[in-house]
A and B are shown apart, each in its own frame.
Chain A
Amino acid sequence: MEAEMTVVQEQAPEAPEVPEVPEVLVSVRDLKKHFPVTKGALRRKVGAVRAVDGVSFDIVRGQTLGLVGESGSGKSTIGRTLLRLEEPTEGTVIFDGGDMADLSTSGLRKLRPRMQMVFQDPHACLNPRMTVSSIIGEPLVEHLSMTSRERNERVEELLGLVGLNPEHANRYPHEFSGGQRQRIGIARAISLNPDLIVCDEPIAALDVSIQAQVVNLMEELQDLLGLTYLFISHDLGMIRHIADRVAVMYLGRIMELADVDGLYDNPLHPYTRALQSSAPVPDPAAEAIREKIVLEGDIPSPSSPPPGCVFSTRCPEVVDRCRREVPVWREVAPGHGVACHLVPAT
């Protein structure tokens, strides 16, 4: 904990673009994304999957916001809506001071180079018929006017940055292992010097020893290029390592949002506690004495969320009020917000 603090303090004066007051790069307010459920030949709308249902958070420039939750909690949809790969149903996304809803198509296109994405499956996100140099060079062709020589130089520089041999630029994705392909995906994401990178479970498909390599690379690049990450993962251990702030999601809503130390040392929401206790600890002695909260049942369907608190169907501490009233978002400590009736106001 202390080590992290000193690291942050040491870096602040070195990087000139980081001002004294933390600058908010992305500000999301009451974001909703509902996918319609249609029926019959006329595709009549009969309901909606509430993938993201009223979510607000800020991401500070140069920091990492971790987004954790189970499958179906809406993590990936937030990432995609943020980048406007999905149109939001409601709510605003402010990127670097400008409301993205005001932008025209061409305005949005100008903004695209500043926000990039690293995908989960390194086998599916690279075109198998393109060479590595054309994969990494494609964003450069799209958004910049470079000569092919400049472009090749940039591709070689990027390959070096992500720890791949620049001589392999003319190989095809199938010639690389999973970890190396993820490095190619990262090189493509940083090719246009973006501000924000949405990392959608970038290490979930990799082996343990390779995960550490990729996470280290991402942290190095963050320091080197001043990148801001939205890091989506279901791995609480890795989120603790990489994130500055963490949002815990359940069924399209944020249950708790806090600094990483606050969330892990003092989890307030029953779901956060259950999630933490579900993650097995790689230490047999600790595992034997650890208090385990095992949740009953499954995550409800986002097309018919329960009334009141969405977690009320599985919450071990549920009271009557939870089933009737939707808990309001409250900030109970500086920078530590929670949506739960049971957490006393402080």
Chain B
Amino acid sequence: MPVLRVTDLTTRFNTQDGTVHAVNGVSFDLADGEVLGVVGESGSGKSVTMMSLLRLIPTPPGEISAGQAIFEGDDLLSMDLGDLRKVRGGKVGFIFQDPMTSLNPVVTVGDQIVESLTVHQPGRRKAMRARALELLQLVGIPSPEERLRCYPYELSGGMRQRVMIAIALACNPKVLVADEPTTALDVTIQAQILELVKGLREKLGMAVIWITHDLGVVAGLVDRVLVMYGGQIVEDAPVDEFYAQPRHPYSQGLLASLPSATSPGEKLVNIQGQPPDLRSAPASCSFAPRCPHAFDRCHRENPVLSAVSVTRKVACWLDEVPVLVSAQSDETAEGQAGHGS
């Protein structure tokens, strides 16, 4: 039984320019203790999906129009707001991208950690203070006693992100959702945070959803990869299989466009065209206009995410005939890409 099961999640934003279909029928399972990587370009619906799970999107203009998110037997999307509050920051921890804007600038780091404990696990102030100290030690902040009394501006970006992680971990969550937590950091600091999260995950055994656009980060950290495009999951695969043999043409394009996939001096492979306009509900495959293998059916019908093996799911009509096409598609992918812009 997965710790979190999301089925058919659909989120829209009703704006003056029309309805933006940000998330369109997303379904996935998160197993206990699993690290799930969610990759995709900006606007692909990664963040909105995860924010929708905890109903953190502003409504209006946002609207979660369909779907279920079963966490420990209860549906997060229909439960009472008071109960949901106990889940947010309690059983589900959240780390946001920008540590500067998500910490309160006028409250000390120690008080911000204690605040989270007061809400979810109230106890004696002294005990909570001790727990806050323990958490700062856990996330590897040097001289934690002094840091408890610091304000966020006194800390560097990497230290702030560690504080965010400490707050997210304060109540021993079952699930930790991290929304691009290292994107705003330098590579050497990113390496520190990645090592920290790997260690914490082994120590604490929680499930992690890691949203990123960096395929390098995903490779070293996660167990399973979800690829999102145009508000839908187009591929769901174990990390080794995903990198060895991506099945969806978009996944193939993403991996091929990395500079490390090309030898120096050669042209980079790129995906032609632009990301889709989400102002109309997807009636056909949203990747079809950029897909080198698109055929009639792709422009008429939207493929659903369906299992192609025990461990993998792909939303692509090509996989109706998987064996024949996947062997052929690799060759055509390279041939097509060679044209460049």
Contact = CB atoms under 8 A, between A and B. Distances in A.
B104 interface: no
A117 to B, nearest CB: 23
B215 to A, nearest CB: 4
A3 B266 CA distance: 8
A21 interface: no
A294 B195 contact: yes
Interface stretch (A22-30, A39-47, A51-59, A279-287): A279-287
B274 A177 contact: yes
A274 B191 CA distance: 10
Interface string A197-226: 000000000011111110111011000000
Interface stretch (A101-109, A144-152, A232-240, A327-335): A232-240
B121 interface: no
A235 to B, nearest CB: 8
A177 B340 CA distance: 19
Contact of A281 (B186, B195, B220, B239): B220
Nearest to B196: A294
A282 B216 contact: yes
Contact of B188 (A207, A261, A275, A282): A275
Contact of B268 (A70, A216, A295): A216
A299 interface: yes
B257 A212 contact: yes
B68 to A, nearest CB: 30
- Mostly helix, strand, loop or mixed at chain A's interface? helix
B214 interface: yes
Interface in B213-227: 213-220
B194 A280 contact: yes
A207 B275 contact: yes
A281 B257 contact: no
B267 interface: yes
A212 B275 contact: no
A287 B220 contact: yes
A217 B220 CA distance: 31
A311 to B, nearest CB: 11
A260 B264 contact: yes
A207 B42 contact: yes
A5 to B, nearest CB: 8
Contact of B269 (A212, A279, A295, A296): A212
Contacts of A180: 274
B99 to A, nearest CB: 13
B259 A163 contact: no
A212 B341 CA distance: 10
A56 B293 CA distance: 50
A209 B254 contact: yes
A237 B275 contact: no
A281 B341 contact: no
A234 B187 contact: yes
Contacts of A237: 216, 258-260
A210 B41 CA distance: 10
B187 A208 contact: no
A14 interface: no
Contacts of A175: none
Nearest to B217: A280
Interface in B238-263: 239-240, 243, 253-255, 257-263
B190 interface: yes
A213 to B, nearest CB: 5
Q: Which A-B residue pairs are the 3 nearest by beta carbons?
A: A4-B265, A280-B216, A212-B270
Given A216-B270, A282-B216, 7 more contacts: A1-B263, A208-B258, A209-B271, A277-B191, A282-B218, A282-B219, A294-B195
Interface of B: 41-42, 142, 156, 158-159, 186-192, 194-195, 213-220, 239-240, 243, 253-255, 257-272, 274-275, 340-341
5 contacts: A209-B41, A209-B253, A234-B186, A278-B191, A282-B218
